[in-house]
Amino acid sequence: MRKIKLALCDDHTLFRVGMSTILGQINDFELVLEAGNGQELIDKIARKLPDVVLLDLQMPVMDGTATADYLRENYPLIKIVVLTMHDEDRMVLHLLEKGVSGYLLKDAEAGEVEKAVRKVMDEGVYLNEFVSKAMLRKMTNKTTITKPVNAFYNSKILLSEREKEVLMLICEGLSTLEISEKIFLSPRTVEGHRLRILEKTGTKNTAGMVAYAFKNSLV
Protein backbone atom coordinates (compact mmCIF):
# COMPACT_ATOMS: atom_id res chain seq x y z
CA MET A 1 0.00 0.00 0.00
CA ARG A 2 1.38 3.37 -1.04
CA LYS A 3 1.94 5.70 1.87
CA ILE A 4 0.81 9.32 1.93
CA LYS A 5 3.93 11.46 2.22
CA LEU A 6 3.66 14.45 4.53
CA ALA A 7 5.69 17.55 5.30
CA LEU A 8 5.26 19.53 8.51
CA CYS A 9 6.23 23.20 8.61
CA ASP A 10 5.98 24.94 11.99
CA ASP A 11 8.41 27.00 14.01
CA HIS A 12 7.44 25.48 17.37
CA THR A 13 9.61 22.44 18.05
CA LEU A 14 7.31 20.93 20.68
CA PHE A 15 4.34 21.14 18.33
CA ARG A 16 6.32 19.44 15.58
CA VAL A 17 7.39 16.68 17.96
CA GLY A 18 3.81 16.10 19.08
CA MET A 19 2.40 16.14 15.56
CA SER A 20 5.19 13.86 14.35
CA THR A 21 4.25 11.35 17.05
CA ILE A 22 0.57 11.50 16.03
CA LEU A 23 1.31 11.08 12.33
CA GLY A 24 3.72 8.23 13.05
CA GLN A 25 0.88 6.20 14.55
CA ILE A 26 -1.04 6.14 11.26
CA ASN A 27 0.12 3.18 9.19
CA ASP A 28 -0.14 4.68 5.72
CA PHE A 29 1.21 8.14 6.66
CA GLU A 30 4.91 8.91 6.29
CA LEU A 31 6.41 12.16 7.57
CA VAL A 32 9.21 12.76 5.07
CA LEU A 33 10.09 16.36 5.91
CA GLU A 34 10.03 18.77 8.86
CA ALA A 35 10.88 22.47 8.71
CA GLY A 36 10.87 25.39 11.13
CA ASN A 37 9.89 28.01 8.55
CA GLY A 38 8.85 28.35 4.93
CA GLN A 39 12.33 28.96 3.59
CA GLU A 40 13.65 25.81 5.22
CA LEU A 41 10.75 23.87 3.72
CA ILE A 42 11.46 25.24 0.24
CA ASP A 43 15.16 24.43 0.57
CA LYS A 44 14.40 20.79 1.37
CA ILE A 45 11.22 20.02 -0.53
CA ALA A 46 12.69 19.08 -3.92
CA ARG A 47 14.65 16.23 -2.31
CA LYS A 48 11.73 14.83 -0.33
CA LEU A 49 8.63 15.70 -2.29
CA PRO A 50 5.49 15.29 -0.12
CA ASP A 51 1.88 14.75 -1.14
CA VAL A 52 0.56 17.06 1.57
CA VAL A 53 2.12 19.93 3.52
CA LEU A 54 0.80 20.76 6.98
CA LEU A 55 1.59 24.45 7.17
CA ASP A 56 1.64 26.94 10.03
CA LEU A 57 1.03 30.62 9.21
CA GLN A 58 3.03 32.72 11.65
CA MET A 59 6.70 31.78 11.30
CA PRO A 60 10.00 33.68 11.10
CA VAL A 61 12.06 34.10 7.91
CA MET A 62 9.20 33.08 5.58
CA ASP A 63 5.62 32.88 6.83
CA GLY A 64 2.89 30.47 5.81
CA THR A 65 1.12 32.79 3.38
CA ALA A 66 4.27 33.41 1.36
CA THR A 67 5.11 29.71 1.51
CA ALA A 68 1.66 28.77 0.21
CA ASP A 69 2.12 31.19 -2.69
CA TYR A 70 5.46 29.60 -3.57
CA LEU A 71 4.11 26.06 -3.35
CA ARG A 72 1.06 26.79 -5.50
CA GLU A 73 3.29 28.38 -8.14
CA ASN A 74 6.09 25.84 -8.17
CA TYR A 75 4.51 22.61 -6.86
CA PRO A 76 0.83 22.82 -7.83
CA LEU A 77 0.21 19.11 -7.23
CA ILE A 78 1.14 19.34 -3.54
CA LYS A 79 -1.89 19.73 -1.29
CA ILE A 80 -1.65 22.34 1.45
CA VAL A 81 -3.49 22.03 4.76
CA VAL A 82 -3.07 25.07 6.99
CA LEU A 83 -2.69 24.21 10.67
CA THR A 84 -2.78 27.40 12.74
CA MET A 85 -4.17 29.34 15.69
CA HIS A 86 -5.56 32.09 13.43
CA ASP A 87 -9.34 31.78 13.32
CA GLU A 88 -10.31 34.98 11.50
CA ASP A 89 -12.87 34.48 8.72
CA ARG A 90 -10.93 36.84 6.46
CA MET A 91 -7.79 34.72 6.73
CA VAL A 92 -9.68 31.50 6.03
CA LEU A 93 -11.23 32.80 2.81
CA HIS A 94 -8.03 34.52 1.72
CA LEU A 95 -6.00 31.32 1.95
CA LEU A 96 -8.65 29.18 0.30
CA GLU A 97 -8.65 31.65 -2.57
CA LYS A 98 -4.90 31.21 -2.79
CA GLY A 99 -5.42 27.51 -3.35
CA VAL A 100 -4.87 25.82 0.01
CA SER A 101 -6.87 22.61 0.27
CA GLY A 102 -7.87 22.76 3.93
CA TYR A 103 -7.74 24.95 7.03
CA LEU A 104 -7.46 23.50 10.54
CA LEU A 105 -7.05 25.11 13.93
CA LYS A 106 -4.31 23.75 16.17
CA ASP A 107 -6.83 22.63 18.76
CA ALA A 108 -8.28 20.14 16.26
CA GLU A 109 -8.44 16.51 17.31
CA ALA A 110 -5.85 14.13 15.89
CA GLY A 111 -8.62 12.31 14.06
CA GLU A 112 -9.59 15.45 12.21
CA VAL A 113 -6.03 15.98 11.00
CA GLU A 114 -6.04 12.45 9.60
CA LYS A 115 -9.47 13.03 8.04
CA ALA A 116 -8.31 16.29 6.43
CA VAL A 117 -5.24 14.66 4.89
CA ARG A 118 -7.26 11.78 3.45
CA LYS A 119 -9.96 14.12 2.16
CA VAL A 120 -7.58 16.43 0.30
CA MET A 121 -5.83 13.42 -1.21
CA ASP A 122 -9.09 11.86 -2.37
CA GLU A 123 -11.13 14.93 -3.31
CA GLY A 124 -8.75 17.90 -3.35
CA VAL A 125 -10.44 19.83 -0.55
CA TYR A 126 -11.42 19.51 3.11
CA LEU A 127 -14.17 21.80 4.36
CA ASN A 128 -14.79 21.28 8.06
CA GLU A 129 -17.53 22.91 10.15
CA PHE A 130 -15.27 25.83 11.11
CA VAL A 131 -14.51 26.70 7.46
CA SER A 132 -18.12 26.22 6.38
CA LYS A 133 -19.34 28.59 9.10
CA ALA A 134 -16.72 31.17 8.11
CA MET A 135 -17.97 31.01 4.53
CA LEU A 136 -21.59 31.25 5.63
CA ARG A 137 -20.89 34.29 7.79
CA LYS A 138 -19.15 35.94 4.87
CA MET A 139 -22.09 35.24 2.59
CA THR A 140 -24.85 36.30 5.00
CA ASN A 141 -23.21 39.36 6.57
CA LYS A 142 -24.08 41.71 3.75
CA THR A 143 -22.73 44.71 5.60
CA THR A 144 -19.19 43.40 5.33
CA ILE A 145 -19.29 41.93 1.82
CA THR A 146 -17.78 44.13 -0.83
CA LYS A 147 -16.76 43.17 -4.31
CA PRO A 148 -12.97 42.96 -4.50
CA VAL A 149 -11.29 45.11 -7.06
CA ASN A 150 -8.49 42.71 -7.88
CA ALA A 151 -8.36 40.32 -10.81
CA PHE A 152 -9.72 37.47 -8.72
CA TYR A 153 -13.25 38.87 -8.98
CA ASN A 154 -15.08 38.64 -12.29
CA SER A 155 -18.49 40.32 -12.20
CA LYS A 156 -19.39 38.96 -15.65
CA ILE A 157 -19.05 35.30 -14.79
CA LEU A 158 -21.90 33.24 -16.25
CA LEU A 159 -22.59 29.72 -15.07
CA SER A 160 -25.11 27.40 -16.63
CA GLU A 161 -27.91 26.06 -14.44
CA ARG A 162 -26.18 22.69 -14.33
CA GLU A 163 -22.86 24.30 -13.37
CA LYS A 164 -24.64 26.21 -10.58
CA GLU A 165 -26.16 22.96 -9.35
CA VAL A 166 -22.79 21.20 -9.36
CA LEU A 167 -21.14 24.17 -7.63
CA MET A 168 -23.78 24.18 -4.90
CA LEU A 169 -23.23 20.49 -4.22
CA ILE A 170 -19.45 20.94 -4.17
CA CYS A 171 -19.93 23.72 -1.62
CA GLU A 172 -21.95 21.28 0.48
CA GLY A 173 -18.89 19.03 0.59
CA LEU A 174 -20.05 16.29 -1.76
CA SER A 175 -17.50 14.30 -3.74
CA THR A 176 -17.62 13.86 -7.52
CA LEU A 177 -19.10 10.38 -7.09
CA GLU A 178 -21.73 11.60 -4.61
CA ILE A 179 -22.72 14.44 -6.94
CA SER A 180 -22.98 12.08 -9.90
CA GLU A 181 -25.32 9.80 -7.95
CA LYS A 182 -27.42 12.70 -6.70
CA ILE A 183 -28.06 14.40 -10.06
CA PHE A 184 -27.82 11.29 -12.25
CA LEU A 185 -24.74 12.23 -14.26
CA SER A 186 -21.59 10.22 -14.84
CA PRO A 187 -18.57 11.09 -12.66
CA ARG A 188 -16.76 12.12 -15.84
CA THR A 189 -19.49 14.62 -16.72
CA VAL A 190 -19.48 16.04 -13.19
CA GLU A 191 -15.71 16.42 -13.35
CA GLY A 192 -16.10 18.23 -16.67
CA HIS A 193 -18.49 20.70 -15.06
CA ARG A 194 -16.06 21.19 -12.16
CA LEU A 195 -13.19 21.96 -14.54
CA ARG A 196 -15.31 24.48 -16.47
CA ILE A 197 -16.29 26.21 -13.23
CA LEU A 198 -12.62 26.41 -12.27
CA GLU A 199 -11.84 27.98 -15.63
CA LYS A 200 -14.70 30.47 -15.47
CA THR A 201 -13.90 31.57 -11.91
CA GLY A 202 -10.16 31.69 -12.52
CA THR A 203 -9.53 29.65 -9.38
CA LYS A 204 -6.71 27.16 -8.85
CA ASN A 205 -8.48 24.26 -7.18
CA THR A 206 -11.73 23.16 -5.59
CA ALA A 207 -11.05 24.94 -2.29
CA GLY A 208 -10.43 28.23 -4.07
CA MET A 209 -13.55 27.73 -6.17
CA VAL A 210 -15.68 27.19 -3.07
CA ALA A 211 -14.24 30.30 -1.41
CA TYR A 212 -14.93 32.26 -4.59
CA ALA A 213 -18.50 31.04 -4.69
CA PHE A 214 -19.25 32.17 -1.15
CA LYS A 215 -17.32 35.41 -1.43
CA ASN A 216 -19.16 36.44 -4.58
CA SER A 217 -22.60 35.11 -3.58
CA LEU A 218 -22.74 32.50 -6.36
CA VAL A 219 -24.41 30.06 -3.95
In CATH, what class is 161-216? mainly alpha
Which of 168, 162, 154 is CA-nearest to residue 199? 154
- The whole-angstrom separation of Cα 58 and Cα 68 is 12
Q: What Cα–Cα distance (Å) separates residue 207 from each residue in 1, 32, 114?
A: 27, 25, 18
Q: Using DSSP, state whether 126 is helix, strand or coil.
A: strand
In CATH, what class is 4-140? alpha beta
What beta strand segments (E) does 10-137 contain?
29-35, 52-55, 79-84, 102-105
> Cβ(9)–Cβ(56) under 8 Å?
yes
pLDDT, tens only, 164-195: 899 988 887 788 888 999 999 999 999 999 89
Rounded to an integer, the average pLDDT of 11-29 is 95
pLDDT, tens only, 92-144: 878 887 889 999 999 999 999 999 999 999 888 888 877 766 666 665 664 44
Backbone φ/ψ region at 54: left (φ over 0), alpha (ψ -120 to 50), beta: beta
Strand order in the sheet with 52-55: 29-35, 4-9, 52-55, 79-84, 102-105
More confident residue, 154 or 59: 59
- The whole-angstrom separation of Cα 101 and Cα 98 is 9
Position 147 confidence tier, pLDDT thresholds 50, 70, 90: very low
Which of 155, 150, 194, 152 is CA-nearest to residue 175? 194
Instruction: Give the domain ranges of the chain.
Output: 4-140, 161-216
More confident residue, 53 or 141: 53
Residues 6+ apart with CB under 8 A from 91: 57
Position 52 confidence tier, pLDDT thresholds 50, 70, 90: very high
153 has pLDDT over 50: no
Position 156 confidence tier, pLDDT thresholds 50, 70, 90: low
What average pLDDT does the chain have?
85
β-partners of residue 9 are 35, 55
- The whole-angstrom separation of Cα 139 and Cα 36 is 35
56 has pLDDT over 70: yes
